[in-house]
Amino acid sequence: MEDTDDDHIIRVRGLVTRFGTHTVHDGLDLDVRRGEIIGVVGGSGTGKSVLLRAIVGLLKPNAGHIEVFGQSVRDTPEEEYRQLRRRWGVMFQDGALFSSLTVRQNVEAPMREQLKLDDDLRKTLAGIKVRMVGLPENAMTKFPSELSGGMRKRAGFARAIALDPEIVFLDEPTAGLDPIGAAAFDILIKQLQAALGLTVFFVTHDLDSLHANCDRVAVLADKKVLAVGTMQEMLEVEHPWVREYFHGPRARAAIESSRPKGAA
């Protein structure tokens, strides 16, 4: 069955982003389907995080068009963009928490900005989000400096879902975690995506995460989205970087670890 326009929750067309004389994207196109988990990969400097920031409106591209939920991110009036922004959440690298706020206060921050709630209700809702990401009760009163790297990422995830978004953007969610912590975070992504009906857009270099989570993968190379497809389809792409990435020793190890126990 072919996609329809209604299936595409994010549409990027002809994106051009430059920093001075350096062009990062040049005519980049990408569609993201409603309800999918899509991983964005590419070599260093291909603009994976830059693409994420452009989609959520934190970076103004030089040219091109970005629509989320059918609305232009660049051209939507401020009040409409404010309403649009409530429909997604973002988790930046290492959680990007406010260092002077506790975990609960960090999760409350989007609610304070976007919603008119009394203090007790806001605290209760923040507590629910914290527990949803698997943090213990006593983590709510801790500051980011008192948390492990994995706990900071979970707190960042809790803040990203604070407003019950339809899309969650994750920037390198498992970077810096040990294999056990990364695997646990992969499970969390899948569980919350299924429970909340999320569309998940995540930037990663972690092959294990791609195998564990992704419905599709988008590969950034040559200043564009070079290929989009399932992990199996990526194995058929002939581009040198794609072949090295998806056929190398780490890729083979990730494929092996993703197979069910006892599978041939």
Three-state helix/strand/coil letters over the chain? CCCCHHHEEEEEEEEEEEECCEEEEEEEEEEEECCCEEEEEECCCCCHHHHHHHHCCCCCCCEEEEEECCEECCCCCHHHHHHHHCCEEEECHHHCCCCCCCHHHHHHHHHHHHCCCCHHHHHHHHHHHHHHCCCCHHHHHCCHHHCCHHHHHHHHHHHHCCCCCCEEEEECCCCCCCHHHHHHHHHHHHHHHHHHCCEEEEECCCHHHHHHHCCEEEEEECCEEEEEECHHHHCCCCCHHHHHHHHCHHHHHHHHHHCCCCCC
Q: Average pLDDT, stretch 49-60? A: 94
Pick 231 or 199 by higher pLDDT.
199
Percent of the chain with pLDDT over 90: 71
pLDDT tens for each residue of 75-117: 888 888 888 999 999 998 766 899 999 999 999 999 998 888 8
Q: Average pLDDT, stretch 190-198? A: 95
Read off the CATH number of the domain in which 94 is found. 3.40.50.300
Three-state helix/strand/coil letters over 150-198? HHHHHHHHHHHCCCCCCEEEEECCCCCCCHHHHHHHHHHHHHHHHHHCC
Pick 250 or 167 by higher pLDDT.
167
pLDDT of residue 81: 87
pLDDT of residue 65: 95
Give dist(CA 200, CA 94) in Å, integer. Answer: 17
pLDDT of residue 4: 54
In-domain check, residue 74: no
In-domain check, residue 225: yes
How many domains are there within the chain?
Answer: 1
In-domain check, residue 56: no
In-domain check, residue 108: yes
Whether residue 199 is predicted with pLDDT greater than 90 in this model: the reply is: yes
pLDDT of residue 220: 96
pLDDT of residue 173: 92
In-domain check, residue 185: yes
Rounded to the nearest integer, the mean pLDDT of the chain is: 90
pLDDT of residue 74: 84
Q: Average pLDDT, stretch 185-210? A: 94
Question: Do 231 and 211 touch, CB atoms closer than 8 A?
Answer: yes
Give dist(CA 263, CA 256) in Å, integer. Answer: 9
Helix axes 119-132, 149-160, angle to 10 degrees: 130
In-domain check, residue 9: no
pLDDT of residue 260: 52
Confidence of residue 1 (pLDDT cuts 50, 70, 90): very low
Confidence of residue 264 (pLDDT cuts 50, 70, 90): very low
In-domain check, residue 167: yes
pLDDT tens for each residue of 18-50: 999 999 999 999 999 999 999 999 998 999 999
Q: Average pLDDT, stretch 168-190? A: 93
Structural domain of residue 148, as residue ranges? 35-51+79-258
In-domain check, residue 44: yes
Pick 137 or 256 by higher pLDDT.
137
pLDDT of residue 5: 56
pLDDT of residue 205: 87
Whether residue 257 is predicted with pLDDT greater than 60 in this model: the reply is: no
